[in-house]
Amino acid sequence: MRKSLVSLVWLAGPLSGLVTQPLVGVLSDRCTSKLGRRRPFIIGSTIAVIFCFGVIGWTREIAGDHPSLVMWLAVIAFYLLDFAINSIQASLRALIVDVLPTSRQDNGTAWASRMIGLGNVAGYLMGFLDLVQLLPFLGSSQLQVLTTLASFALGSTVAITCYFTCEKPISRPVAGEHSPSDLKALGAVFTSFGSLPTVIKRICWIQFFAWIGWFPFLFYGTTYVAGFYASNNKGRGWSEDELMERGTRAGSLAMFSQAVSSLVFSFVLPMFTYSAGSRASLQGSESRQGLRIIRKLRAMLSVSLSNMWTVSLATFSACMFGTFFTSTVNGATWLIGACGFSWALAIWAPFTMIGESISGGHSGPADAALPMHSSGGEHRYAPVDTGDIQMDTMSYNSRSPSENSPTRRISRSPHQTEQTTLSAGIILGIHNVFIVMPQFITAFLSSIVFAFFEHTQSPDSGADPGAQHAHQIALVLRLGSIASAVAAYYAWRLSH
């Protein structure tokens, strides 16, 4: 395919994230299936992903000797695959919020990040192996074996999740009860940002700037290292294709090191990090369990999750700024590997803080106390139990038309006042919009940078094309460094 068409194919990621996750969040919030709210979307999306894997792996066998049909069948399957994967991600993130109390949100999202880390390590490791030789009965090409293994991995883990996770179905609306349309509820995702709790608003803006830095890293990290490899090994007599293949393997090795370091940090950091919900349980368990000295030492060394997130963003910004001083494969590999610390926090910290804010029902600072209950005029702070969390927040007041809003919930307790809340699906949908939009911005800025160099640099100048490409990507990474520094500043303000 031409490069202009390939760029349109890669838009599947941000487009699916922008549309699918908010849509699935809203629809699953209102789902009254006997299987629960999230299970039907998880199961259905898993079937769709496995089907798309089969089409992508065996596109040539399905389409036959029709090159155009092969190309467009693969593109359509690729788009459907991205939409289905985003549906699974939205449902699983909401499921974690649904089933865990505030005090365990950080533990749940930490395990989610560890599973992502294991998947990254396994994926990059497979890039080094000749899977056709090792597993010839799963397919006749590397892609066929990969899609078969991925289908088995996804199907088996989803089956475990759906079987062991307890999810209570929500009751169907009473006949005659007013309820807005799904379209109106979906519109709330894009119009209800002002109704978000303060902490979630701040997290969304931090994510916006942070992902302007992360997307160039994820898109071009492998190519960045491959450019330096091609430049440093140009005189070895290898063909251009062989040099490109070896450079890609070097880039994959760099990303593999980042995946391994991220996985290690995802296991270590939670032991020395506390969040709003876990701080009380950490302190309260010291007197009830053994090894008090170790627990006290751990409590002394622990850092708040918001502070740790700030440090990780500053570290990532520094690594991307370090591209100014790097022109070798080893140097670039070390920089990418060091980003594993920041990536472990990126896929853990914001989701923990949002989950605690949703399940705890408070909108104060990131490390604020749990919701306050009143008893006989005396106010006290109490932990939130799973029984206190009502995730079916899409109930409505029918007393006047002005109050029939999808973000309105009327408290049934006589001691509580009317309050405005948003469901988990809508909140996570809004948060995902702030992750997706930077991808469009990054793609636009990157295309401008690359187009500028294409018009200003002559192919007959004798310059090394590998080094040129690596330095062009480095410029985009440095722009991301500035955005990450802004995100670190806002995260520092959030932690204070």
pLDDT in tens, 377-397: 333 333 333 333 333 333 333
Residues facing 379 on adjacent strands: 374
Q: Provide the token pair at 101.
A: 């109390």
DSSP 190-229: HH-GGGS-HHHHHHHHHHHHHHHHHHHHHHHHHHHHHHHH
pLDDT in tens, 308-317: 999 999 999 9
**Residues 148-155, mean pLDDT to the nearest whole number:** 94
Residue type, 151: S
pLDDT in tens, 435-463: 988 888 887 888 788 778 777 766 555 56
In the chain, domain spans: 1-99+130-167, 180-273+304-496
Least confident of 5-14, 45-54, 197-206: 5-14
How far apart are alpha carbons 485 and 313 in whole angstroms?
Answer: 7
**Residues 218-235, mean pLDDT to the nearest whole number:** 85
**Residue 262: Cβ within 10 Å count:** 26
Closest CA to 186 of 358, 24, 390, 419: 24
485, pLDDT greater than 90: yes
pLDDT in tens, 22-81: 788 778 888 888 888 899 999 999 999 999 999 999 998 998 888 889 988 998 999 899
How far apart are alpha carbons 176 and 160 in whole angstroms?
Answer: 39
pTM to 2 decimal places: 0.72
How far apart are alpha carbons 51 and 444 in whole angstroms?
Answer: 32
pLDDT in tens, 274-284: 776 665 444 44
Yes or no: is domain 180-273+304-496 CATH 3.90.1150.10? Answer: no
Distances (CA, A) of 244 to 76, 231, 428, 446, 448: 28, 11, 40, 22, 24
pLDDT at residue 208, as a whole number: 95
